[in-house]
Structure 1
């Protein structure tokens, strides 16, 4: 039964790897969600800043103040472009973690199936042996009855 304990060990290791992959997937999803929230905050900040710029413009601005505000708005736009380009990294990370978790899950299920198949086969053999013994016992009882007549 060394093969059984080896399979159980492999199953435990695979289940552990699946659990770690699940944790990594959850972490990647959290990081992506944090990224999306940060992006949304920057976009909201830019929108609020544009509103302020418009309101100040209606009240009158010097050319120097306008240029300063416009320069800051351009910096916000550049930050948003960089943030949006980083989004692909987070999506890719989630996808890779998801694929790895699915692979670990598939391996664990395969090993469980193999263990179950071996147990079913062993039980089938035990049932067959028991039936053979019962048949032999019944045959011997029949023979004894025939001899005692």
Structure 2
């Protein structure tokens, strides 16, 4: 019985590594999307707040209300700035995870190609041996017939 090829073990490990990298990529994509949704919510909140101020245009508003409004908008703008940085970091992590997954995928494909090449070589060797046996049988048959006549 033929000894199992160690490349099959390498392939199994490569497939597992690729699957793990794919899970990490999916998690990073989901985290990135979650962070972007939070950013969008903050931007919409700021826009709604600005619309409220626009709706009060023409009405008399106190200076303290106006100061509070601007202080609050500044705080929302700061939060948006922080969230932009968080989104950028999440997107960077997603990019790293995608690159990692692509590397694992490439490694798996390389091992598969090696196994395929070995299988083709084994087939060619077996076919060559079979042809050699057929040729040997034919020549023996030819000589036996020649000896009989």
Whether these two folds match at TM > 0.5 is yes
Which residue matches 1:105?
105
Shift of 1:43: 0.5
Please tell me the root mean square deviation across aligned C-alpha atoms, in Å.
1.2
CA distance 1:2–1:60, change in 2 (3 Å) = farther
Which residue matches 1:76?
76
CA distance 1:108–1:99, change in 2 (3 Å) = same
Q: Which runs of 4+ in 1 moved over 3 A?
A: none
What is the alpha-carbon distance in structure 2 between the residues aligned to residue 92 and residue 70 of structure 1?
33
Shift of 1:132: 0.5
- Partner of 2:58, secondary structure, is helix
Question: Between Structure 1 and Structure 2, which shows a larger proportion of helix residues?
Answer: 1
Which residue matches 1:131?
131
What is the alpha-carbon distance in structure 1 between the residues aligned to residue 53 and residue 92 of structure 2?
37
Deviations 1:48-75 (A, max 9, x none): 1011122234322111222112211110
Could you list the runs of 5+ residues in structure 1 that have no partner in the other structure?
none
Shift of 1:3: 5.6
Could you list the runs of 5+ residues in structure 2 that have no partner in the other structure?
none
Which residue matches 1:37?
37
What is the alpha-carbon distance in structure 1 between the residues aligned to residue 16 and residue 55 of structure 2?
58
Return 47-56 or 13-22, whichever deviates more. 47-56
